[in-house]
């Protein structure tokens, strides 16, 4: 009776609905929503990647992100050169201008109507043009100065892209020459400036670089010089001034080539053997010495033939082989070089032009940068000549501080990076052998040693 009663009662009770169907429906809606969001996000990311890599065109309504590079100082200048009066050629050439391939990707032209032809003219055997181009890499925009070159009388389609420079540069230079045909050197600066181009450098015995003026231009801001065939690079210097203000003083962009057999900067075995005679310290390997000598000859633009090379000292800097050597052209000044590293990676720590008189009696000190970077340290390495008993460094006119020398006659001392200093070598009886200023850190090596005050000791 009891079980019948309970069964009758349970039949009247309605249990809760099964929760699974409702949960499954809600989950389907959530998954569908997530798929839509993912698809939309993927589309946005794909579009952004496409735009950034210049696969997808940037929409006209989307503003580019401008780099810090400002508008070029040359942008407001009138077009110069004999071809700029040919409107048809200039218009066709503007259509020929392309973007730039960089390691980060392709920078496309951002607005062909904004391309500005700054210079276009003929040079011996070639046609050259300089353009200011707006570029875009995805959402990033910038401006660049780009050179174009072509054969003499080239049509716009024959003009090909050469070098490029930062649009912030107020002066741009270009040189193209080789040992058989010669070439040209070109400077484009703001109108109203004077351009002077010098060359044929000579290291005088007095310890200065003497140059010959090759070309000058008053007022129009353009300088052009024709270069004859020569066995060595021209080693030119450009100087652009407005009144007493120097806008640019330095070397040229571009290249030089020679099809003549052999490397004019390669030392001979006899030259290397002679260079090592009387050297202080453990001799470097012949391969490494050859490498360092070649670097010095290329930097000083001196051919191996006829140049006197001397290895003054060799040792170790930052755990790597190091040398102090000098090169001297016939009847000229002496250029000292300090380097360390190996044939695959080396650093030039010093390039200093010295007067020829008693150059071999001078102690030489050079400042060291942080290894693997450009950070300036207070470390100064001093190498002394044979016959030196003691050495000292004088910082900013203070009292001489002794430099502890090792058996090779070298030692390390401390000099604040922003303070001048002089190193002095003494004989055993205390007499002064010679003193030499410690040059400051060099920031620009585009010119020859001795072209700037920091790479010579003569005022």
pLDDT value at 33 more than 80: no
Of residues 143, 138, 97, the one with CA closest to residue 117:
97
pLDDT band at 68 (very low <50, low <70, confident <90, very high): very low
Residue 43 has pLDDT above 80, yes or no: no
Specify if 127 maps to a domain: yes
User: Is 4 within a domain?
Assistant: no
**Cα–Cα distances in Å, from 342 out to 281, 283, 317, 319, 356?**
17, 14, 12, 11, 29
Distance of CA 174 to the CA centre of its chain: 15
pLDDT of residue 384: 98
Contacts of 367 (CB under 8 A, 6+ apart): 349, 376, 377, 379, 380, 415, 417, 438, 439, 440, 441
What's the pLDDT score for residue 219?
80
Q: What is the mean pLDDT of residues 26-45?
A: 47
Same domain membership, residue 429 and residue 407 = yes
**Which of 66-70, 112-116, 152-156, 454-458 is least confident?**
66-70
pLDDT in tens, 292-349: 999 999 999 999 999 999 999 999 999 999 999 999 999 999 999 999 999 999 999 9
Per-residue buried b or exposed e for 361-375, using 16+ beta carbons within 10 Å of the residue's own CB: bbbbbbbbbeeeeee
Last residue of a domain, one of 169, 196, 213: 169
Picking from 137-146, 207-216, 372-381, 391-400, which range would have the lowest pLDDT averaged per residue?
Answer: 137-146
pLDDT at 275 over 60: yes
Average pLDDT, the chain: 87
Same domain, yes or no: 358 and 435: yes
Q: Is the pLDDT of residue 32 over 60?
A: no
66-70, 81-85, 96-100, 166-170: segment of lowest average pLDDT: 66-70
What is the pTM (predicted TM-score) of this model? 0.79
At 175-186, the pLDDT tens digits run 988 888 889 999
CATH number, domain with residue 230: 2.60.40
Task: Give the mean pLDDT of 67-96.
Answer: 84
Last residue of a domain, one of 169, 203, 234: 169
In a domain, 181, yes or no: yes
405 and 301 together in one domain: yes
**Beta carbons of 401 and 413 less than 8 angstroms apart:** yes
Q: Are residues 325 and 421 both part of a single domain?
A: yes
Q: How many CB atoms lie under 10 A from the CB of residue 314?
A: 24
Q: What's residue 322's pLDDT?
A: 97
Are residue 279 and residue 420 in the same domain, yes or no?
yes
Cβ burial 175-187 (10 Å sphere, 16+ → b, else e):
bbbbbeebbbbbb
Q: Is 285 in the same domain as 392?
A: yes
Distance separating alpha carbons of residues 403 and 425, to the nearest angstrom: 10
Q: Check residue 15 and give its pLDDT.
A: 53
* 215 in the same domain as 156: no
User: Alpha helix locations (H) across 53-127?
Assistant: 87-96
Report how many domains make up the chain.
Answer: 3
432 DSSP β-pair partners? 426
Instruction: Mark whether 253 and 292 lie in a shared domain.
Output: no
Burial class (CB in 10 A: 0-12, 13-18, 19+), 204: middle
Of the candidates 165, 163, 189, 167, the residue with the CA atom closest to the CA atom of residue 176: 163
Rounded distance, CA 171 to CA 356, Å? Answer: 36
Residue 148 forms part of a structural domain: yes
Within a 13 Å sphere around the CA of 97, how many CA atoms are in the beta-carbon half? 29
Residue 292 domain flag:
yes
Q: Is the pLDDT assigned to residue 3 strictly greater than 70?
A: no
Residue 40 lies in a domain: no
Statement to judge: residues 303 and 440 lie in one domain: yes
**Does any domain span residue 30?**
no
Domain co-membership, 221 together with 80: no
Over the stretch 14-28, which tens digit does the pLDDT of each residue have?
A: 555 555 555 556 655
Give the range of the structural domain holding residue 192, as residue numbers without chain letter.
Answer: 171-261
Q: Is residue 34 part of a domain?
A: no
Of 120, 153, 169, the position where a domain reaches its end is: 169
> Does residue 163 sit in the same domain as residue 282?
no
Same domain, 293 and 160: no
Residue 279 has pLDDT above 60, yes or no: yes
Task: Name the pLDDT band for 224 (thresholds 50, 70, 90).
Answer: very high
Identify the weakest region by mean pLDDT among 60-69, 95-104, 317-326.
60-69
For 45, what's the count of Cα atoms within 13 Å in the CB-facing half-sphere?
Answer: 6
Per-residue pLDDT band for 13 (boundaries 50, 70, 90) equals low
């Amino acid at each position: 009776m009891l079980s019948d009663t309970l069964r009758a009662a349970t039949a009247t009770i309605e249990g809760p609905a099964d929760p699974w169907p409702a949960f499954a429906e809600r989950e389907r809606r959530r998954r569908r929503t997530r798929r839509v969001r993912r698809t939309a996000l993927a589309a946005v990311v794909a579009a952004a990647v496409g735009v950034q890599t210049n696969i997808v065109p940037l929409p006209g309504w989307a503003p580019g992100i401008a780099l810090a590079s400002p508008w070029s100082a040359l942008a407001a200048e009138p077009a110069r050169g004999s071809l700029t009066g040919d409107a048809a050629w200039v218009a066709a050439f503007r259509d020929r201008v392309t973007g730039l391939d960089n390691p980060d990707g392709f920078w496309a032209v951002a607005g062909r109507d904004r391309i500005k032809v700054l210079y276009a003219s003929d040079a011996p055997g070639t046609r050259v043009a300089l353009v200011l181009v707006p570029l875009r890499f995805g959402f990033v925009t910038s401006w660049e100065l780009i050179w174009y070159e072509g054969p003499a009388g080239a049509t716009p389609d024959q003009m090909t892209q050469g070098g490029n420079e930062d649009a912030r540069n107020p002066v741009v230079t270009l040189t193209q020459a080789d040992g058989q045909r010669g070439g040209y050197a070109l400077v484009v600066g703001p109108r109203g400036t004077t351009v002077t181009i010098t060359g044929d450098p000579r290291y005088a015995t007095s310890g200065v670089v003497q140059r010959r003026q090759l070309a000058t231009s008053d007022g129009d801001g353009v300088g052009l010089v024709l270069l004859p065939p020569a066995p060595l690079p021209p080693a030119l210097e450009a100087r652009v001034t407005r009144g007493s203000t120097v806008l640019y003083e330095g070397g040229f962009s571009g290249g030089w080539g020679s099809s003549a057999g052999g490397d004019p900067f390669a030392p001979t075995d006899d030259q290397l053997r002679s260079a090592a005679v009387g050297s202080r310290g453990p001799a470097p390997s012949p391969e490494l010495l050859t490498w360092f000598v070649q670097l010095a000859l290329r930097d000083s633009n001196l051919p191996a033939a006829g140049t006197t090379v001397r290895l003054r000292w060799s040792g170790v800097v930052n755990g790597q082989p190091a040398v102090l050597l000098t090169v001297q052209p016939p009847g000229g000044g002496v250029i000292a070089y300090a380097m360390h590293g190996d044939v695959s990676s080396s650093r030039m720590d010093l390039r200093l032009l010295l007067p020829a008189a008693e150059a071999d009696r001078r102690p030489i000190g050079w400042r060291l940068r942080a290894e693997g970077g450009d950070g300036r340290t207070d470390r100064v390495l001093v190498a002394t000549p044979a016959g030196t008993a003691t050495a000292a460094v004088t910082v900013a006119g203070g009292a001489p501080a002794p430099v502890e020398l090792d058996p090779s006659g070298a030692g390390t001392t401390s000099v604040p990076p922003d303070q001048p200093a002089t190193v002095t070598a003494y004989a055993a009886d205390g007499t002064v052998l010679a003193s030499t200023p410690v040059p400051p850190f060099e920031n620009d090596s585009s010119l020859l040693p001795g072209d700037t005050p920091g790479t010579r000791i003569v005022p």
